[in-house]
Chains A and B, each alone.
Chain A
């Protein structure tokens, strides 16, 4: 579904992503794991056209992504939830969700998707007329995911979905992510929280200092001596 080959990204003279390749097959969860500053978020932003790509290829459903404006990617079904959650503080929950279906791809099914989202997150239905800025961290993440679902994604990208959330909330969010995959949406997520991510991912890549250093199925990686030493002890 998504194939990335030899991606390189630089901020001015400072290159932070080197020759990164990975792929996300249909109906699966793929995780990119690695410590802070490994270049995970940079990779995602470049993929979404928010940072300039220095070199490399990226194709989504057979079409190239390089040089395409961000909003057109959303139109094609590639939807990303940034680390700082994607909702707008000054808009209400309902306004945020409706805005989520901004693309012409998603607009016709707005009502139906909205019901689905409210069914997945009853909490959001309760708070529909509240401004997003007044929500708790967990609720904001639910809203972010709900808003992304409103865009009817085929591939959902999440940047650090567990960041800053209580363990019980994280568990809920990961359950939802699996549910989304089971409904036929592919998921690409970036995580520092290795154990949690390996628990749900079908396949994972380890990114260090801007390069992929290991990859495999979750069980392979979880069993890998090096990975265990480097991360699981943390």
Chain B
């Protein structure tokens, strides 16, 4: 897609999302839209670390949870929401920097295990320390309005996508991708691998916390450790891979597909939705490593090739068969 078309499409989408927020009063539609945008933001934040910098984190929920926990506690105890969010982001950034120092020294699998360990440990510990459900007061509930959370989530998504777009074109982002391809080679060409991973880690964590803050503002009641649940990490990774890892639109497309798909499935048997999406995810990882975005590109390429004569026939070769 040419850049101009993409920009126009982006603004058209943004415009329709704004008008949806202004005009719609269907709770179901707004809830779905909020869930989709929140997941898209969370997934995009994972994508910065996992897609751009190539560090597979299985503990992403920690930062989503941290953002939600701090925002919620401060907000419910009377702090203005923007202040609460700002505090949450600051604390998350500091926490990410602190945790990043040992974690980012680990390569590939060790990083994945380390972040998984972090995720599980924090989830259980938060459950131990904050065992009680967190609910909005009756008064807040009486005045509950979807518009606020809707526009906050939309704003968070826009920020996340814009940061991703900027990153993809910036020198910083190029450095991250160099690290993803080959850490040693990147180091040899003067890219400071640790620095780039750290920036990706902190950015990714802060944006996840932002998504978590929308969750805190949007949700009526939840157990504080629920926001730290591995399910968030999983959903983020799932939609990134379904959409297309390392792309800008992939996480967004994946989220739309996931939330709409989940809504379309019968809701009385929750478990089967998980089973279905779990299997879908496995199939995507095994068979379509580029996700929907790449599949669509391949399709478009095929269509346009049919119109214009082929310039060069690509040699069809299967990947190196090992055993």
A interface residues with partner B (beta carbon < 8 Å): 10-13, 50-52, 54, 69-70
A10 to B315, CA, bound (A): 10
Q: Which residues of B contact A11 (CB under 8 A)?
A: 320
Give residues of chain B (284-310) contacting chain A, Cβ–Cβ below 8 Å.
none
Q: Which residues of B contact A13 (CB under 8 A)?
A: 314-315, 317
**Residue contact B321 to A52, C-beta cutoff 8 Å:** yes
Closest B residue by C-beta to A70:
B323
Closest B residue by C-beta to A54:
B317
Q: Which residues of A contact B320 (CB under 8 A)?
A: 11-12, 51-52
Q: Which residues of A contact B314 (CB under 8 A)?
A: 13
Interface on chain B toward A: helix, strand, loop, or mixed SS? loop
Q: What number of B residues sit within 8 Å (CB to CB) of A?
A: 9
A171 to B88, CA, bound (A): 72
Q: A12-B317, A51-B320 are in contact. List 16 more A-B contacts (CB 8 A).
A: A10-B315, A10-B317, A11-B320, A12-B319, A12-B320, A13-B314, A13-B315, A13-B317, A50-B322, A52-B317, A52-B318, A52-B320, A52-B321, A54-B317, A69-B323, A70-B323
What is the count of residue pairs linking A and B with beta-carbon distances less than 8 angstroms?
A: 18
A54 to B323, CA, bound (A): 16
Q: Which residues of B contact A51 (CB under 8 A)?
A: 320
A11 to B315, CA, bound (A): 11
18 A-B pairs (CB sep. < 8 Å): A10-B315, A10-B317, A11-B320, A12-B317, A12-B319, A12-B320, A13-B314, A13-B315, A13-B317, A50-B322, A51-B320, A52-B317, A52-B318, A52-B320, A52-B321, A54-B317, A69-B323, A70-B323
A54 to B317, CA, bound (A): 9
Q: Which residues of B contact A69 (CB under 8 A)?
A: 323
Closest B residue by C-beta to A15:
B315
Q: Separation in Å of the A135 CB from the closest CB of chain B?
A: 28
Q: Separation in Å of the B20 CB from the closest CB of chain A?
A: 46
Closest B residue by C-beta to A71:
B323
A70 to B322, CA, bound (A): 10
Closest A residue by C-beta to B317:
A12
Q: Separation in Å of the A75 CB from the closest CB of chain B?
A: 15
6 closest A-B pairs by CB:
A13-B315, A52-B321, A12-B317, A10-B317, A13-B317, A52-B320
Q: Which residues of A contact B317 (CB under 8 A)?
A: 10, 12-13, 52, 54
Q: Which residues of B contact A50 (CB under 8 A)?
A: 322
Closest A residue by C-beta to B319:
A12
Q: Which residues of A contact B323 (CB under 8 A)?
A: 69-70
Q: Which residues of A contact B322 (CB under 8 A)?
A: 50
Interface centre among B314, B317, B321, B323 (most CB of A within 10 A): B317
A121 to B166, CA, bound (A): 65
Q: Which residues of A contact B319 (CB under 8 A)?
A: 12
A70 to B321, CA, bound (A): 12
Q: Separation in Å of the B319 CB from the closest CB of chain A?
A: 8
Closest A residue by C-beta to B321:
A52
Q: Which residues of B contact A52 (CB under 8 A)?
A: 317-318, 320-321
Q: Separation in Å of the B142 CB from the closest CB of chain A?
A: 64
A76 to B319, CA, bound (A): 27
Closest A residue by C-beta to B322:
A50
A69 to B321, CA, bound (A): 11
A59 to B220, CA, bound (A): 72
Closest A residue by C-beta to B318:
A52
A12 to B320, CA, bound (A): 7
A40 to B323, CA, bound (A): 20
Q: Separation in Å of the A174 CB from the closest CB of chain B?
A: 33
Q: Which residues of B contact A54 (CB under 8 A)?
A: 317
A69 to B318, CA, bound (A): 17
Q: Separation in Å of the A119 CB from the closest CB of chain B?
A: 35
A13 to B322, CA, bound (A): 17
Q: Separation in Å of the A124 CB from the closest CB of chain B?
A: 29
A52 to B318, CA, bound (A): 9
Q: Separation in Å of the A181 CB from the closest CB of chain B?
A: 31
Q: Separation in Å of the A70 CB from the closest CB of chain B?
A: 7
A216 to B21, CA, bound (A): 82
Q: Which residues of A contact B315 (CB under 8 A)?
A: 10, 13
Closest B residue by C-beta to A12:
B317
Q: Separation in Å of the B200 CB from the closest CB of chain A?
A: 29
A50 to B320, CA, bound (A): 9
Q: Which residues of A contact B318 (CB under 8 A)?
A: 52
Q: Separation in Å of the A71 CB from the closest CB of chain B?
A: 9
